[in-house]
Amino acid sequence: MSELREQVRERYARAAREVTENGDDCCGGGDRVTSTEDVRFGVQRYDAESKDGLPESALLASLGCGNPTAVAELNPGETVLDLGAGGGIDVLLSARRVGATGEAYGLDMTDEMLELARRNAEEAGADNVEFLKGYMEEIPLPDASVDVVISNCVINLSVDKSAVFAEIARVLRPGGRVGVSDVVADNRLSPEERAERGSYAGCIAGALSFTEYESHLEAAGFGEVEVAATHEIGDGMHAAIVRATKPA
């Protein structure tokens, strides 16, 4: 577990350093993204209106497979948590939607990404955001403290997904929602076949199948579970929208 987690940490620490040091020339993406023009991952998944007014470094550090703020319904005054916040793009977008009476938290385990995200929040003038260091298997927030949990192509990176879903259920208030973008595998693919298509740190080998994703959420107590593909990112591998609700 620790070895895989370290591989993931170093992959995203390197991405943060590239943004900080190289700006527009950064983020070719290693084994996950073949170029900055690859629309399967990255800031290309956001429309122009969403990107307007965000710091350039928040856009450059976006390595997700979707736009979870378009997936999750966010209302003024709500508290939202982004798992694996990276450079902060989804936290900043969430902060806009929940407004001054709401709160947007971003959780990340990587010091370099947290430093970048905090700098982006300051540049954006976002006063209702807070970035936390920690693991999504051990979220550093109290029980029933969050209305919505979002994430962008990060849950697949966990080596203990049952713990992630249990923690999401713990921090959500009754009636709370999950709105996640993630990589999901066809049910026909074995774990070994998924690993043949890409690495763990590259968001491929650790992906759950559609049925596995649904089963994990239901086992954690969620209802209204929906896992729907949005676009293909490889043979039998898809970006997907995931929604679920914690019973009231």
Strands (E), 63-153: 79-83, 103-108, 129-133, 146-152
Q: What is the pTM of this model?
A: 0.83
Q: What is the pLDDT of residue 32?
A: 39
Specify which residues 50 forms β-bridges with. Answer: none
> For the segment 204-228, what is each residue's pLDDT rounded down to a tens digit?
878 999 999 999 999 999 999 999 9
Top pLDDT among 72 and 20 is at 72
What are the tens digits of pLDDT across the range 53-69? 665 656 565 566 777 88
pLDDT digits (tens, 9 = 90+) for 132-161: 999 999 999 999 999 999 999 899 989 899
Question: What's the Cα-to-Cα distance from 113 to each of 74, 130, 175, 191, rounded to whole Å?
Answer: 24, 13, 31, 29
How much of the chain exceeds pLDDT 90, in percent?
57
Q: Which of 99, 104, 128, 245 is nearest to 179 (CA)?
A: 245
Residue 125, C-beta contacts closer than 8 angstroms, at least 6 positions apart: none
Domains of the chain and any CATH numbers: 2-245 (3.40.50.150)
